Each structure stands twice: as structure tokens, then as C-alpha cells.
Amino acid sequence: IVAEFTEKVNAEGDLQALEQIKAAYMGKKGPLTGILKNLRNLSPEEKSEVGQAANKAKTAMQEVMENRRQGIIRAQIDEKVASEWVDFTLDEDAEKIGALHPVSQMQYEIEDIFSGLGFTVQDGPHCELDFYNFEALNIPADHPARDMQDTFYFENGAILRTHTSAIQARAMERIKPPFKIIGPGKVFRVERLDASHEAAFHQLEGMVVDEDISVANLIHTMKTLLSEIFQKDIKVRLRPGYFPFVEPGFELDINCQICNGKGCSVCKQTGWLELMPCGMVHPNVLKAGGIDTEKFTGFAFGLGLDRLVMMRHKIEDIRHLHSGDLRFSSQFK
């Protein structure tokens, strides 16, 4: 009985099945109990001999059983440890802790600056309707920006937004003036990629609508933002620029004092760096957003975040930013 029991027990790998074997051999109906029950029918000599043998067998079986049980439990623990093993002492892991991408760092920093100025942060979808990206922004049907060459179209006519100005178009439906908003996010364009052009990049839109808003407010806000970002007083200049959704529209340039005229090839030539298109919101845009143009005026701007990051860290090629190359991104912890 012991030999048979031992063989069965040792071949079993499951705790529950093990209990069943134990019950079959050592339980009330098992052969061992049968022998012990039968003792009273035997002669005194036989009783002693068989009794001793039966007890020895019982002890041996209990031992076999316990050993196997421990063996199975240990194997289960070993397996768990092997599959869920983590070495908390490994230094290398500490180095692999991630950090915010430099574009995210810049975005959150600017969000903080504007929050301090009373702006709220607005959002909108990447996959956008023609209406919010173009029509509500006074961009006519024949405008070149709508061209298949510049805009990613889905088969159903939806598009990937080409600028964060779509966020202001949506925001005007939700909130009523006076308001001060920013809208950061990813935008997409069919571009010929080069050192300063990506097909997916980041902008940060800003829009202020109130009574008596003028170009002076625009310039003051931009100067405040730039001196916060670069931590010094920055000279700016406005040149005329054309965007259908602003009138007048400007290109805001910053003085090359930020890179001492050395940081970029553009500065070497002109002493000014083109940074940010902006302007007074076109009345048609306000009207599309349901805003009373007799009472309210506004300004808006669209900041290219990736280019700003390039300027700050003197990065010569925009394609490094989203290359996913850890040798590059681990420099910005």
C-alpha cells in the first residue's frame, strides 16, 4: 500500500488532487483504516504485529504526503518568483525613469504663464471637421491651405486639423465673451520634411475677446509671455502678415538678443527671428462664433511650440524632436 501510495503521490502536481489521493488511501474507506478496523478479529500476537506495521505505514504515508505537499507549494512559489521577479537594487533602472518631452515641458510652462494671466486652457480633437478648421475661420473654399497637398483628408471628408486655430473656433461655441483662452495641441500638415518642417508638430493658440481690445493689448501680452519664457526683456516687432482669420494680421519677430545673434542662421542675416503669427480677430470669425462684433473685439496668435523648443535648446533639426531616439530625449530631464 505504501509503495503504491508513494508512487501516486509523487506523480501528482496539484494540491487538490493530492488531497483526493490522501482521502482514498488514508480516509474512512481507505485500505489502511480497513486493516486497523479488522484488528479486533485477530489473535493478540497478530494484533500487535499488524497494528505496528499499520501504524508504521500510516506514519510513512503521512511523511510522503507532507513532503509532496511542500514540494508542490515550493514549486508554485518558485514559478511565481521567476515570472514576477523585480530587482529593486538594480541601479540601471533608476536611470531609465522617464521625463517630460521638451515640447511638453514648454507647453506646460506656457500654460502656467497664461493661467497666471487669467487665461483658461481649451482643447479640441485632432480629427476635425472642415467647418472648425477652415469655414468658421473665414478661410474660403478656394484657399490654398485646403488643398490636398497641405491637408490630410479622411475618406469621409473629415480632416486632421492643420492648426490650433480650430480650437478657438470650437471654444467660441462653448464660452461667451469676455474671455481669455489658450489652446495647445498637435497639428498635422502634408509637408516636405526638412530641418524646420515636420508633418506632425505642436502649436499653442491664444485668443482674447473683450470690449476695447487693441493691438497694444496684443503686443503687451506677447512681450509678457516672451520675457517669462526667456527670462529677460525681449524686444519684438510686428510686420504685416496675411491670415484670413485676422485683420490686420502680423508676423511677430523677436530680437536676436536671445541668441546674441549667434544662435541661428536667420539671426546672422537680419537680427530678427520670425516667431509668431498673430492679429486682430476678423469680424467674420467672431460672427461665426456668435459674438456681437459691435461690442467686442479680440486678438489671436498661434505659437509654434517645436520651433520655440529648438530656439531654447539650440536644436538644429526639428526631426530630432520626435525621432524617439533616447540619446536625444534623455538630454532634457
Point out which residues bind ligand FA5 (CB under 6 A): 163, 165, 189, 191, 197-198, 201, 203, 205, 243, 246, 249, 276-279, 300-302, 304, 306-307, 318
* Cβ nearer to ligand FA5, comparing 177 with 249: 249
Residue nearest to ligand FA5 (CB): 304
Q: How far is the CB of 325 from ligand FA5 (least distance, A)?
A: 18
Q: Nearest 5 degrees, angle CA 314-CA 315-CA 318?
A: 145
CB 167 within 8 A of CB 122: yes
Q: How far is the CB of 187 from ligand FA5 (least distance, A)?
A: 7
Rounded CA separation 95/241 (Å): 46
Rounded CA separation 26/74 (Å): 24
* Cβ nearer to ligand FA5, comparing 18 with 309: 309
* Cβ nearer to ligand FA5, comparing 197 with 313: 197
**Residue whose grid cell is 482674447:** 208
* Cβ nearer to ligand FA5, comparing 64 with 253: 253
Rounded CA separation 82/329 (Å): 33
Q: How far is the CB of 92 from ligand FA5 (least distance, A)?
A: 35
CB 211 within 8 A of CB 296: yes
Closest CA to 301 of 167, 173, 163, 206: 206
Q: How far is the CB of 259 from ligand FA5 (least distance, A)?
A: 16
Terminal CA-CA length for the chain: 70
CB 263 within 8 A of CB 314: yes
**Residue whose grid cell is 500654460:** 111
Q: How far is the CB of 279 from ligand FA5 (least distance, A)?
A: 5
Q: How far is the CB of 235 from ligand FA5 (least distance, A)?
A: 18
CB 244 within 8 A of CB 282: yes
* Cβ nearer to ligand FA5, comparing 26 with 318: 318
Amino acid at 155: E
* Cβ nearer to ligand FA5, comparing 191 with 228: 191
